[in-house]
Chain A
Amino acid sequence: EVQLVESGGGLVQPGRSLRLSCAASGLTFDDFAMHWVRQSPGKGLEWVSGISWNSGNIAYADSVKGRFTVSRDNAKNSLNLQMNSLRPEDTAMYYCVKDVGASGWDWWFDLWGRGTLVAVFS
């Protein structure tokens, strides 16, 4: 079965850090770009970051640039998101998402994980 499973979410105070991970199975992981998309409680979807198959292309939303770092380990079929200097507005469900293509920016998303919840509050 093709699936993406996120982990690492939790409760954290403002200014602290958290590292999210996504384990991919049932697919040739290094054939595809990957993304993180978040959804604040009761709100819509916001693309956070994307990384191409070989980590050669990386991009971030302006809202997280300079604070979040995306990486991948193709040998371990894993995607990561290091989140530093967390703010209350970062509170959201974070989804690991598979791109249809490899390069990162030309195609749609065809597989979503179930998400991991991050809550930032004092």
Chain B
Amino acid sequence: EIVLMQSPGTLSLSPGERATLSCRASQSVSSSNLAWYQQKSGQAPRLLIYGASSRATGIPDRFSGSGSGTDFTLTISRLEPEDFAVYYCQQYGSSPPYTFGQGTKLEIK
């Protein structure tokens, strides 16, 4: 089972700043089969990024994903007030189970 570790656990930033979130896998994630989800308080998760770097439909271009192998990054170029939420990475494409990282909480400084 691939274990995903996200860092930092909490990130405190101000609107307009750049956010960099990390997701590290315990073993190589094949074919960059990594997704990122955003979860706002009281809501279901929403798909942001798939294939490590492809934005989902309707996701603003301030969100970008990068990485391969065991190290992946989600970057939000200029934070908007609605971006403060919890972000999860997920690996897929290997035999079940799918695994998620423990999440990074992005909070307003």
Contacts and interface: CB of A to CB of B under 8 A. Distances in A.
B92 interface: yes
Interface of B: 33, 35, 37, 43-47, 50-51, 56, 88, 90, 92-103
Q: What secondary structure prevails in chain B residues at the interface with A? A: loop
Given A59-B96, A105-B92, A105-B95, A45 B45 contact: yes
Nearest to B31: A106
A3 to B, nearest CB: 11
Interface of A: 35, 44-47, 50, 59-62, 95, 100, 105-115
Nearest to A93: B44
Contacts of B92: 105-109
Contacts of B35: 108-109
A50 B94 CA distance: 13
25 contacts: A44-B100, A44-B102, A44-B103, A45-B45, A45-B88, A45-B90, A45-B100, A45-B103, A47-B96, A47-B98, A50-B96, A61-B96, A61-B97, A62-B97, A105-B96, A106-B93, A107-B92, A108-B35, A108-B47, A108-B51, A108-B90, A109-B47, A113-B44, A114-B44, A115-B44
